[in-house]
Amino acid sequence: MRKPAHQWETTDFVAVREREVPDAWVDLPRAEAFELQPRAGGSAQAAYLSLERQQVPREILRRDPSVVFAIKAWLTARGSRQLHLLDEHGAVVEHRPFTLTELSDAAPRTPAQQLVSLCPSNAEVVESLGCFDRVIACEDSTDWPERAAELERLGPDLGPDLDRVHALNPQLVLSSLSVPGMERIVTGLKVRRLPQLVLAPRQFEDVKHEIGVVGTYLGVEGRAREVCSQLEREREQLLSRRGRFFRPMRVYLEWWPRPMFTPGGDCYSNELINLAGGLNVFRSQAGSSVEVTVEDLLAARPHICFISWCGVHIDKLDVENLIKRPGLSRLDAIQERRVYKLDERFSGRPGPRMLEAARIMARSINRVRQVLSLEETDRISRW
């Protein structure tokens, strides 16, 4: 199956991303320009989206209200829940926060028995609730539970075959907006009128809440409460292990090497890093994931680095890629090879197994802390 050319779609339009954005939008966070191409013929028109504001011609908004749904999906995939929609003249059309429930269908009257999962973390949530036998198909990246290997595969996580999903006629599709690009899936399901529950946790509490929501849709509320209680116990254990004199270390977590992407301030990874004994050096950046440069990383001065590239198995992670990256040799963390692998199956999946990422990071952070001099440790505590 070929990857669709469009980035997202609505009832009347498909949105194709342009290579460049206008000068007025260049410096806005995560700014992108789109050509909105009518399905039924006519002239294409431009739309511009960023985390700070979004601009769409009023004529298009009147013609196709589902464009607003698509914009919310685009924003959610980048960590924002704030709509600031303008028309072509800059007049405010809608300015308000929105919730994830606005993107999902209401819970079915009876518990859903036939599910399609379109994200690995979704499948892991269903497994934790004891309902994986209801899943009839999933995307290619799902590898847990192991019996997922027996299911029909629908294609890559950012480009599953939505027409095949439609043909399967599931009672519920568990979709996700945990990473940019997934808005193509969520809007595609909306156009095909498939019932979906959209998951996109930004914090540890969101993960617990969404496990509870899935439990409601599946009719296993009691089991969902048990899973959430277990997660909370694991979190408390991690907090207690930080010790009385907790001194966080600066941490760089890399999600992709070229271009360099890392978690921003609106991402659950900040809590995982904190539970491990660190602070995300890019936590002040808006969005769930942000693009950074070598210069940005030099200025951030992390004490320890983790590579956890999206969709890359831990055996194929290459710490030398970061250690030998041009321009980074001045960093102490690079000179002293304080660069470690982090299994993306835990760090990149906000679900019932995510706290394993904190435990893995904590072991490396504690080893590094032990070899740092007392002077360095004191300096960390004052940072």
In the three-class reduction of DSSP (H, G, I as helix; E, B as strand; rest coil), residue 249 is classed as: strand
Q: Which residues pair with 278 in a beta bridge?
A: 249
pTM: predicted TM-score of the whole model, two decimal places: 0.91
Residue 269 in any domain: the answer is: yes
| CATH number of the domain to which 167 belongs | 3.40.50.1980
Residues 6+ apart with CB under 8 A from 41: none
Residue 1 in any domain: the answer is: no
Helix (H) or strand (E) holding 306: strand 304-307
Q: Would you state the structure tokens that stand for residue 127, as one six-digit string?
A: 């497994």
Residue 2 in any domain: the answer is: no
Residue 34 in any domain: the answer is: yes
Question: What percentage of the chain exceeds 90 in pLDDT?
Answer: 88
Whether residues 270 and 227 share a domain: the answer is no
CA–CA–CA angle 213, 215, 221 (5° rounding): 110
Whether residues 124 and 87 share a domain: the answer is no
Give the gyration radius of the chain's Cα atoms: 22
Residue 14 in any domain: the answer is: yes
Whether residues 268 and 368 share a domain: the answer is yes
Residue 338 in any domain: the answer is: yes
In angstroms, the CA 218 to CA 134 distance is 9
Whether residues 94 and 137 share a domain: the answer is no
Boundary residue ending a domain (197, 216, 234): 234
Whether residues 191 and 249 share a domain: the answer is no
Whether residues 113 and 31 share a domain: the answer is no
Taking only the tens place, the pLDDT of each residue in 180-195 is 999 999 999 999 999 9
Whether residues 183 and 273 share a domain: the answer is no
Q: For residues 305 and 337, is the Cβ–Cβ distance under 8 A?
A: no
CA–CA–CA angle 355, 358, 361 (5° rounding): 150
Whether residues 321 and 367 share a domain: the answer is yes
Taking only the tens place, the pLDDT of each residue in 209-245 is 999 999 999 999 999 999 999 999 999 999 988 765 5
Whether residues 299 and 341 share a domain: the answer is yes
Boundary residue ending a domain (83, 98, 113): 98
Whether residues 276 and 374 share a domain: the answer is yes
Q: For residues 220 and 196, is the Cβ–Cβ distance under 8 A?
A: no
Q: Give the DSSP letter string of 117-159.
A: E-SHHHHHHHHHTT-GGGEEEE-TT---SGGGGGSEE-S-TTS
Boundary residue ending a domain (214, 234, 254): 234
Domain count, the chain: 3
Whether residues 146 and 182 share a domain: the answer is yes
Residue 3 in any domain: the answer is: no
Residue 355 in any domain: the answer is: yes
> What mean pLDDT value characterizes the chain?
93
Mean pLDDT of 245-259: 89
Q: Give the DSSP letter string of 68-98.
A: HHHHHHHHHTTT--EEEEE-TTS-EEEEEE-
The answer to whether the peptide bond before residue 248 is cis (omega within 30 degrees of 0) is no
> Which string of b and e fits 205-223 if b means at least 16 CB within 10 Å?
eebbebbebbbebbbbeeb
Whether residues 204 and 311 share a domain: the answer is no
Taking only the tens place, the pLDDT of each residue in 98-143 is 999 999 999 999 999 999 999 999 999 999 999 999 999 999 999 9
Domain that holds residue 24: 8-98
Taking only the tens place, the pLDDT of each residue in 21-75 is 999 999 999 999 999 999 988 899 999 999 999 999 999 999 999 999 999 999 9
